[in-house]
Structure formats: structure tokens, C-alpha cells
Chains A and B, each alone.
Chain A
Amino acid sequence: MNNPPPAEEPLRPHTYDGIQEYDHRLPNWWLVTLYGSIAFAALYWLFGFQLELLPEPGAALEEKMKANALAAARSSGEISNEILWSMSKDSKVLDAGRAVYQSTCASCHLPDLAGAIGPNLKDATWIHGAQPMDLVKVVTSGVLEKGMPTWGPVLGKTKINEVTAFILSHQPNP
């Protein structure tokens, strides 16, 4: 071996059964991967496990199953007082409900629900029943003798549920 390798690639002096070794420095991307995964592990342990920011799997599942059941009931058109209350906390539903309210209801009940031709919808007084399902019934079938039209065939179930949820969002939680 009269030709020594270039100076920037020094070989280690020792050979093992003829095998030689360079001593290259470690590639940066490899070091970044090593230190990055160690940092991730430390943070995951700290936040996910030690500070319990990740929910316990069993509890997380139960919450998810409950939410799924609500969502399924909602989309199937079947509703209940409980579902309507839960919808009144869902910002997507409220956005849709607000739009329906402003275009359909605000002319009689006023944009801030304070009431004019129709009664006030944000106070504690309920004329035709205080349960969410009572509201749905009023909106759907109307109270013809007092001038509340029948909205069922016009708005359809989904929009009625949404606007009911919007009205409920102005009421204190049961």
C-alpha cells in the first residue's frame, strides 16, 4: 500500500484480519434524527404521560362512543331534549341555526331574540312548554291562533333542530 488514502480520510492504525476502519464524523442528518427522536421521547413522556395530557384510553373511548351516539342520533333526525341541549353547545350547529334565525325568525322575534311581534325568546318565561322538544313542536307545527306559522314543511327537520339549538344557546343549561 504505497498509496496512502487522501489526508481527509485518515484510517485508524489498527487492522483486524486485514479489515481497516475510517473514523468519519457522523452525518448531520443522522445526528438530527437521533437527538430529535430522543427529544420527542422526553416530551411525549413529560406531556403525554407525566402531565396526563393524553386521556386514559378507556375514558377516551367512552367519551368517543357517547359523542358518536349523539352524532348518529342527530343525523338520523331522531332528537331528544338531551341531544338538543348538546347541539346548543356545538359551534357548527349554532352557526347554521343563527343563519336560519336571522332569515326566518328575526322579523318577529328581533335579531337579539328580545321579542316584538312574537314573544321574547331569551327570558325565563315559556308559554308553550319549557323543554327543548316543546320548542321544536312549536316551530314545526306553529301556534296558529297566536300568529306563529307552521315552519315544518318550509324549513325541514335539520334546520328546525339547528334553530332550536340556537335559541337554547341563549338559555341557561339545565
Chain B
Amino acid sequence: MTASSQKIRIEFNDHVVRQFLVASVFWGLVGMLVGVIVATQLASWRANFDLPWLTFGRLRPLHTNAVIFAFVGNMMFAGIYYSTQRLVKARLASDFLSSLHFWGWQAIIVGAAITLPLGLCRGKEYAELIWPLNIAVAVVWVVFGWNFFWTLKRRNEPSLYVAVWFYIATIITVAVLYIVNHLSLPTSWTHSYPLFGGVQDALVQWWYGHNAVAFFLTTPILGIMYYFLPKAAGRPVYSYRLSIIHFWSLVFLYIWAGPHHLLNTSLPVWLQSLGMIFSLMLWAPSWGGMLNGLLTLRGAWDKVRTDPVLKFFAAGVTFYGMATFEGPLLAIRSVNALSHYSDWTIGHVHSGTLGWNGFMAAGMFYWMAPRLWNRALYSTALANMHFWLGLVGILLYVAAMWVSGITQGLMLGATKEAGTVLTYPNFIEAVTATMSLMHLRALGGVMYLAGFVLLAWNLWKTAAGAQTVNGSVEVPAATAAPSAMGVAGGFLNAPVLYSLSLIGCLILWGAGHGIVAGLGLWGVIAVVIGALTHQQFTGTRWSEWYERLLENSLPFSLLTAVAVLIGGVVQIIPTLLLNKADQVGEVRQIPYTPLELAGRDIYVREGCYNCHSQQIRPLVGDVLRYGDYSKIGESIYDHPYQWGSKRTGPDLARLGGKYPSVWHFHHMRNPRQISAGSTMPNYPWLFVDPTDVAALPTKLAVQRRLGVPYPELSAAQIQENVQAQAQTFAEELKNAGAEVPADREIVALIAYLQKLGKSETIPATKTAQH
């Protein structure tokens, strides 16, 4: 007892927490301002200003990257570093790593803010940053993980609290997702082609995209909720066992749900079905988090009326519940047929980001700032005003998007004469019908931003001139060694073995045929009965084992990694095998010519995928409007895939040959000349800038390495090929009265657009029978 009576005082590194807090508020202002700008552009094309770096296609990636990685990213780091130090009673392991983490992350953000408006873009949503920045993100993330796990190793509190579980899951999963989805082969310092193409790229992209929502916008914020909400409410957390069940089910199930972003596409149906059913199974685990948040407030609801911190938390958790109910709903195949590609998805995302992320951030900032600067919040009234401005802003935004999305879905899918004729044959009719809602949405965004400006002002007045203060804790000079179970002890025990056998049998049943599936099904039944019986007799020992696991961060982290990785492995590995060209059926994409490839890179650079899909679904409305539904082989050579996720404008999968080239010429210069009421920006610079032919030899070489069947061409041959094809287009345009030099970007872009949907049929004898 003498050792434990001697105490030492540990001072926390709250300096880096303050840095991340300030950065989050600053980038939040920037990201939300860009959000308001892009919302305005959707209401009025004039807000694109005919300037390349201000067009919607380039600013929308800036908005999403800024609010996700800069605003929520910095907020998450502030929250994780503040709470983890206190929960494990240890100072962050390394001041150097903490600083490197902070400054590295800010440098990446600045890099993104410069490169994205310049059109340097990988063409995949929330994964647009160029490859040198990708590497920087991976490195800084490893620095973060290193700093975090090192801190855990030095902890003076043996047992890990639920918030820390969520942080661990976040760090491991984001690293895996980010690295796999950013694998690419560079063609220059600023350009690369993704390793995966077509359906495979689509699957990997949404495995990443969906789980960026899960493990960047959800799990770290749940961890933050588990720390700050009971702190602010002064109430115990509602249920420890609910924490356990909803944590493990959430991290295991979430990974599988990615394909719900690809429902009704040419993704194989088994993957679509997995995406749908795992989304439905996520409903309860998600609501487990909401319950533990809201029910912790029992006995503190009187404080919610007066304390802005609790107001933000209560509303934020409620929005989390709303969004995680809406998510499974939208993942149902038939609902998705209406909602996909429409504004409904945009509304859904924003009820999560504005409501859950934004409000949890605000609550956390209002709670932290007085403690970090040792001065009471400047104005509670301003904070309350922020709350109501923000709340009304979200409701306006989300309601406008619901109405707009459902209107778009219904109008674009509407048919008459027994489903043989489109009721609204012109796409622009749906654009015009929802125009007033675009204004309403922008207004909602302005209100939300105004609320956030109040937050910035309030925090500024709180912190300016105040004395910063760092928290500290007294710990015994020598702590008793925690019970070490080792990695083997983490895995070789009844609950884990039962869970893993159950998952194994489920996979056998689900993926196997005939006798294998039968064995799997019987295995499932046997394991469930075995586990339940065993648990009747030794249940208490299982919970004791879990308590010991909480004192062993390495086995805990490994178990989390296994839970997270299973879904990705089961979905992605079979798809890697499937994408081989001889296994995708009879219809096969014809590779782009060098000029068309240059045009495609312009399409990606301008972010056309932000508003146009290239994927026709097997639905009556889609097929009547855009032509035969897309086949899996029609995009296998697309690195990156460009199926898109939103139709602000029409689908382009079969655009090639639909209109004469001169149509595109006038349409790209001024869309309204062709299509009155269009909200598409003008692209005057494409008529001035020359096509980058010099880059093509390297680009083609990289495409060949990626498996696209290009013949080996010398730089001179490529040059010749480009010139010949460009000349044909220039002459065709000239004959139609539109003169432009053949070397301009518009010619390359038109060549690409006229190629869209061109495929060949390989006789069945040559395709493998699978």
C-alpha cells in the first residue's frame, strides 16, 4: 500500500486540443461557406461565374472534403485527444507526434483547398485528393494512431471505457479503408489512375464511401458522445451491456452495407442483396447508440432547457436516430429505385452531418472552451440563438430536399400509356419543378452557417485574452500491472470462438451451394444452441472475460480489426476475380482512343460525375429515358469508374451518338442555348485551352499496366492518332457551322462524350461459362 499512497501529478497536453478546436471552427466556417456557394449554384447557374475554379464540379468536392476531413476531422481529433487523456489518466505519449499530427493535417487541408479548385482530382467521391496528398493523409493517420496507441500503452487506468473502444475502431478502420480505396498508379505528380476499374472500382469506392460515413462521421462521434454527454449531464451512462452489444454489432455490420449505394446498378445481385439486408440489420445497433445517449439524459432533462451544451447534444443524438432510421429505409431496393440519384439522398446526408456531426461538435466546443481557457462562456444567449438558428436551418434544408428528391424521383420515373411512354420526357421538367426548393435549401444552409458564425464569435470572445489552462490528474506513482491475457487469450475463449464459428457457418451457408450450404446452415443452428446452452452455465465467466479484455488493448484492437475486416474480405475478393474481362458476359466496352481518353480526363477534372451518372438501371423509367440498362462489361476499362451517385442532370451512359457533335459544342459553351432552364455551368475555357497530348504516352502506358487492352504505341503514333481523330471532329463541327481549332479541349471532350455507351458483343463461345 505504500506504493499506491505515493502520487504523482500528470499534466495533460491540452495545447494540441486547443489547436484542433480552433482549426475545426475555422475550417468549419470555410467548408460551410463553400457549401452555401454550391447550394446557390444549384439554384442559379450564374453563381458559377464562368470561371473554372469556381464551377460546381470543382467546388462540390472542396465542400465535402472540407466539412468531412477538415471540420469533423479536426473536431474529432480535439475530442479524442481531450477525452482519451482523461479516460486513461495519461498525457499524450509524444508532444512531437501530437504537433506533427496537427500541422501535418492542416498542411493536407491547405493542399486540398488549392488542388481541388485547380481541377486536380481523382474522380471518386470523398476520395478526390491527388496521390501525393493521399500518401500524406495515410502518413499523418499513422502518426495519429501511433500517438494514440502509445498513449494507451502508458495509461494509468487499466480498463478501457466505451468511448475508447469507438476511437480504436475508428483509427484501425479508416486506415484500411483509406489505403485500399486510394491505391493508384501515378502518371505524373498530380495525376493517377485508380488500380481498380469499373464494377470493382464502384464496389471498393462505396465500401470506402459508406464506411467513411460510418467510421469517420459516426464511430468517433459516438465515442465523443459517450464521454461528453454524461459529463455535461452529470448522469451515469444508461447501460453498459447496451454499449457492448451496439459497439460490436455496429462495427461488424457496418462494413457490409456499402453496396446499398449501388442498388439496381450492374453490380452483381448477391452484393446488392447483402448491402440491403445488412443495412436493415444496422437499424437496431445504430439506435442502441441513440438510446444510450438519450436515456443517459434521464433525470437531467430540466438541464436541457437551460444548458446549450445539452441542447445541442440532445438534438444531435436525435438527428442521429433520424438519419439511422432513414438510412435502412433508403437501402430497401424498391425505395431506393425512387430515391437514388435524387435530392432525397442529399437531405439524408445533411440530417446526419448538420444534425449529428455539426450539433455534437457545437455542444462539445461550448463545453470544452470554458475548461480550456479557464473562463466562463462569453454568452449563453448567443449559444441558444445558435441552436435555434441551426435547428431551423436544418429543418428547412432537409424538408426542401425531401420534397425535391421525391418530386424528382416521381417525375423522372413517371410513365403513361401503360408504362410505355414517359410522362415528363424532358429531363429539364424535373429541374424546373424543384427550382424553388433549391432556393429554400440555400436559405437553410445560410441560417446554419449564421449559427456557426455565432459560435465562432462566442468562442473568440471567450478565449481572447484568457489564460489557457491544462488539465491534470493525480495518479499513483506505481500502478498494479493489469491482468495480461495476451493475444491468444483474446481469441481463444468461448464468446469469441462461438462468434467466429457462427460467422464462418453463416458465410458457408450464404455463399455455398448444395451440401456446403446445408452444412453451413446446420452449423449455424448447432453453434447457436451450443452457445446459448454454454452461456446458461458459464455466463458470468464470459462477462468476467470481457472485463479482462478491456484491460488488454492489443487483443481488443485485434478483435476489432477482425470484426471490421470480415465484411470487406467477403465482398471484395470475389469481385476482384469477377472483373477479369473474360468473366463479365458478352457485352464489352470498346477501349477509348487516346483522344477520347484525354477527353475523359477533362470530364473527371471538371467533376462532371457530381451531377451526371453513367449507369442506367433496369427500371422502366430509366430504360425509357436513357436506353437499355447498363451491363457489367460496359465499364470494365473505366479507371476510375464514373457511375455517379446523383442526377442533377441526365444520365450519360449512352450519350454517344445521341446528338450531333455540334449539339455538344453549343451546349458546353452555353447549355441554355440548347436546353432552356438548364442549371449547368458554361465551360468557355474548354474552347481556349489546348488538350494535354504530351501526357498521353505515360497515361496510355499506365492504362496498359492496369489491364486495358491498348496496343503498344509510340509517342509519335499517339500524337498522329490524336491529330487524325481531332481533325475529323473539327471538320464535322466546321461543316455544321461551328469552327474551333482541332487541338482544343472541347474537341477531346466531345470525342469522349460521343464514345459513351459504345460496346462490342463477344460471342458466347469466347466467354467463360460461370
List residues of chain A with CB under 8 Å of any chain B CB.
11-12, 14, 16-27, 30, 33-34, 37-38, 40-41, 44-45, 48-50, 56-58, 60-61, 64-65, 68-69, 71-72, 74-76
Is there an interface contact between B277 and A41, defined as CB atoms closer than 8 Å?
Answer: yes
Interface segment, one of B44-52, B281-289, B370-378, B725-733: B281-289
Taking the closest CB of chain A, its distance from the CB of B663, in whole angstroms, is 28
B-side interface size class: 35 or more
B interface, CB within 8 angstroms of A:
83, 86-87, 89, 157, 159, 161, 227, 230-231, 236-243, 245, 249, 264, 269-270, 273, 276-278, 280-281, 283-285, 287-288, 291, 295, 328, 415, 417-421, 510, 517, 618-620, 623, 629
What's the Cα separation between A10 and B694 when bound, in Å? 73
Q: Is the CB of A40 within 8 A of B240?
A: no
Can you list 16 A-B pairs, Cβ within 8 angstroms, ordered by A?
A11-B236, A16-B159, A17-B89, A18-B231, A19-B237, A20-B237, A21-B236, A33-B287, A37-B281, A45-B510, A49-B270, A50-B510, A57-B618, A71-B418, A75-B418, A76-B417
Question: B240 near A23 (CB under 8 angstroms)?
Answer: yes
Complex CA distance for A72 and B418, rounded to whole angstroms: 5
Decide if A24 touches B239 in the complex (CB within 8 Å): yes
CB distance from A84 to the nearest CB of B (A): 17
Complex contact A50–B517 (CB within 8 A): yes
From residue A130, how far is it (CB to closest CB) to chain B in Å? 29
Q: Is the CB of A23 within 8 A of B241?
A: yes
Whether A26 contacts B245 by the Cβ 8 Å rule is: yes
What is the chain B residue whose CB lies nearest that of A74?
B418
Which residue of B227, B241, B283, B419 is within 8 Å of A72 (Cβ)? Answer: B419
CA distance A38 to B230 in the complex (A): 31
Determine whether the beta carbon of B620 is less than 8 Å from that of A71.
no
Complex contact B284–A30 (CB within 8 A): yes
Which 10 pairs between the two chains have the least Cβ-Cβ distance?
Answer: A41-B277, A34-B284, A68-B419, A71-B418, A20-B236, A72-B418, A16-B161, A24-B239, A61-B618, A57-B618
Interface residue SS majority, chain B: helix
Which of A22, A26, A40, A76 sits near B280, CB closer than 8 Å? Answer: A40
Taking A23-B240, A26-B242 as contacts, is the C-beta distance between A71 and B419 under 8 angstroms? Answer: yes
- The closest CB in chain A to the CB of B506 belongs to A42
Residue among B240, B243, B517 with the highest chain A CB neighbour number at 10 A: B240
Which A residues are CB-close (under 8 A) to B159?
14, 16
Q: Which residues of B contact A68 (CB under 8 A)?
A: 415, 418-420, 620
Q: Which residues does chain B contribute within 8 Å of A76, judged by CB atoms?
A: 417
- In this complex, the member of A16, A27, A68, A75 whose beta carbon has the largest number of chain B beta carbons within 10 angstroms is A16
CA distance A161 to B415 in the complex (A): 25
Residues of A within 8 A of B419 (CB): 64-65, 68, 71-72
Tell me which of A14, A26, A60 contacts B239 (CB under 8 A): A26
With contact pairs A20-B237, A25-B241, A48-B273 given, residues A58 and B283 touching in the complex (Cβ less than 8 Å): no
A22 in contact with B240 (CB, 8 Å): yes
In the assembly, what is the distance between CA of A12 and CA of B239, in Å? 10
**A16 CA to B619 CA, complexed, in Å:** 54
